[in-house]
Amino acid sequence: MVGIDVKAVVESVWRSMARGIYYPPEWQGKLSTEEAYRVQLGILERYLAHGELQAGWKVGLTAKAIQDQVGVHEPVFGFLLESGARASGVVFRYDELLDPGVENELCLTVGTALQGPGVTLEAARAALTAAAPALEIIERRGDFKADLRLSFVDNCQQKAWVTGPALPLTPDVRLGDATVEIWLNGQSRERARGDAVLGDGPAASVAWLANKLVSFGRRIEPGARIMSGSFTRQYSPVRGDQIEARFAPFGTVRATFA
């Protein structure tokens, strides 16, 4: 569709969300990628107008394992709200989630503004001040495979983000050398390295994001937290599961689904 009225779509989607419909059928197949992101950002502005605070951004589909799992081979972005922040050890009530998924990531703190275009990997690395072990909780609120762009409108399925204590980053720490081991109900299930994220490490997610946001008149602001994208495939918890991600050298984060 050419010349779509983004404000009208934002209003329509916002009303649908209030009714629990996150993938409005009237917009299926109607939005370009750019339009879908503009609607997402319009939804963000609605949240902010209603008193929410933006904590930062998420980058998704950064590791080959998860790209292969969902059949999408480029990164995506969404926003983080402070109301979605949870501390490690949180217990989610399973019945209150819509078909949840869990991804293991680093949550990075940006100390200085990053304005694209042309943000290099080196500039992204230099801007980072801290990293925390993290889990992203997503909800499959609709069939994103039927229309991937509507998942952009739905903030790329973002629900909550769980973090352990953040550690300061020093110049000798290479995020690509970080490792994670995933434990499910006390059993080790998978290991991966940070360079699984865009082939170079979580800082590459930050550079990609800064260069992507400029197309929408945005930048990464100082103090923003960035969820870097999962090191491994996505996990689908069932009631009673405990998921733990042990990041070396950054520590452990865990969540339980009761």
In a domain, 100, yes or no: yes
In a domain, 11, yes or no: no
In a domain, 245, yes or no: yes
167 token code pair: 């550690």
Q: Identify whether the C-beta of residue 97 lies closer than 8 Å to the C-beta of residue 159.
A: yes
In a domain, 211, yes or no: yes
Residue 1, pLDDT > 50, answer: no
Which residues does 18 contact at the CB level (< 8 Å), separation at least 6?
none
141 token code pair: 């609120």
What is the number of structural domains in the chain?
A: 1
In a domain, 218, yes or no: yes
DSSP one-letter code for 214: G
DSSP one-letter code for 98: S
pTM of the model: 0.94
In a domain, 9, yes or no: no
In a domain, 40, yes or no: no
The per-residue pLDDT for 2 is 55
- The full DSSP string for 119-185 is --HHHHHHHEEEEEEEEEEEE--S-TTT-HHHHHHTGGGEEEEEE---EE--TT--GGG-EEEEEET
CATH number at residue 231: 3.90.850.10
The per-residue pLDDT for 146 is 82
Residue 19 φ then ψ, to 5°: -95, 5
174 token code pair: 């290479």
Q: What is the mean pLDDT of residues 241-245?
A: 98
Count of CB atoms situated within 10 Å of the CB of 118: 10
134: which strand partners? 105, 163
Residue 82, pLDDT > 90, answer: yes
State what percent of residues in the chain have pLDDT above 90: 83
Residue 215, pLDDT > 80, answer: yes
Mean pLDDT of the chain: 94
Residue with token string 């405990």 = 242
In a domain, 25, yes or no: no
pLDDT in tens, 125-179: 999 999 999 999 999 999 887 888 999 999 999 999 999 999 999 878 889 999 9
State what percent of residues in the chain have pLDDT above 70: 99
Domain residue limits at 243:
53-257
DSSP one-letter code for 27: G
85 to 90, 137, 186, 227: CA distances (angstroms): 10, 10, 24, 12
Residue 123, pLDDT > 60, answer: yes
